[in-house]
Amino acid sequence: MTERLSTPMSVRSWAWMLWAVGLFNTALWLESLDTYLDARWQWSLSSALPDAAFGPSRQMAVWMGLGSSSLQQTSSQGMAPRPLAWPLQPLPAGEFWPTLAQQKAVPGPQKILLAGDSMMQGVAPFLVRELSQSHPDWQLIDLSKQSTGLTARRYFDWPVTIAQTIESQQLTWVIVFLGPNDPRDMFLPDKRVSFATSEWLDNYVQRVDEILAHAVQRQVRVIWVGLPAMREDRLQRGVQVLNHVFHDRAQAFGTDYLTTEPLIGVASLPFQKYQPDATGRSVSLRAEDGTHFTPAGLRTITQALVQHIEKAAQP
């Protein structure tokens, strides 16, 4: 009986197999890779690849639940608030956009959505604990997701996500706290738009308006939380633009804006890691990265939010 010996794969065969496996994994996880690259370096792998090569893989990723939602809504139909004036005028040093409290809560238990990036991820556990203790019949839904925002909506679409949740959960409030990922260029289907230009502003305002218009249509109250000072110069300049937008659109739609600047750090002044508390003692409110918050900073923002909500809930 003759025993047949198997022939080992050649080096070339192994190379082709490894290349094919790598290409398949890249195609399958393209959306995830793009999300990381976009958040870290504002660049996407897919932007350098032809659609013919990876178009099917993108569709498969969405079908498998790995990509962003494709739902598109025109929730702003019938809503035509005044546009934001261009060019934006910077605030004098020490000035900040004040809190707007323009809404009262509907009577009864509240159902509140917490939306945003890592800003909200830090605050959400504190806020859920505080409000759950004082209002056990209220429901809080935390959908915060790091490395998200409104400038890039291809990988995670906040206007669509919030609109979907309003419809599916019968919300009474939406609280939005985001922004550090947004002061960068915007990639539209046909071009790249530089941050803080009039075209960038028009598109960014439209995305904020999508959220507010849909909420107002459904009689859902919105609190948009403003950003404090940031250590990085690029973010510091960006915060001043974003807060202007957030405040202006809240004012236009009759929703609320909660400033964090007098509590955490005014964006028109140099960044300060420490702030005095009620007793005058200097307290560290900011994390070492100069963007996020220490537990003391998170409690400070949470307290301001709870007070704002409780006041709105008073008959």
As separate numbers, helices (DSSP H) first and strands (DSSP E) second, the chain gives: 9, 9
pLDDT at 30: 52
pLDDT, tens digit, 9 for 90 and up, residues 82-119: 888 888 989 999 999 999 999 999 999 999 999 999 99
pLDDT, tens digit, 9 for 90 and up, residues 182-224: 999 999 999 999 999 999 999 999 999 999 999 999 999 999 9
pLDDT at 34: 55
Residue ranges of alpha helices (H) inside the chain are 11-28, 30-41, 51-63, 118-134, 158-169, 198-217, 233-253, 261-264, 295-313
Q: Is 56 helix (H, G, I), strand (E, B) or coil?
A: helix
What's the pLDDT band for 120 if we cut at 50, 70, 90? Answer: very high
Least confident of 64-73, 82-91, 172-181, 242-251: 64-73
Domain residue limits, the chain: 12-63, 111-313
The position carrying tokens 């690849």 is 49
- Global model pTM greater than 0.75: yes
Is the pLDDT at 61 greater than 90, yes or no? no
**Domain 111-313, CATH homologous superfamily name and number:** SGNH hydrolase (3.40.50.1110)
Least confident of 55-64, 73-82, 88-97, 292-301: 55-64
d(CA 107, CA 312): 10
What is the enclosing helix (H) or strand (E) of 188? strand 186-188
pLDDT at 40: 47
Least confident of 55-64, 116-125, 254-263: 55-64
In this structure, the number of other CB atoms found within 10 A of the CB of residue 155 comes to 18
pLDDT at 82: 84
Q: Which of 244, 170, 242, 249 is nearest to 210 (CA)?
A: 249
Query: For residue 6, what are the CA distances in angstroms to 2, 3, 9?
Result: 13, 10, 9
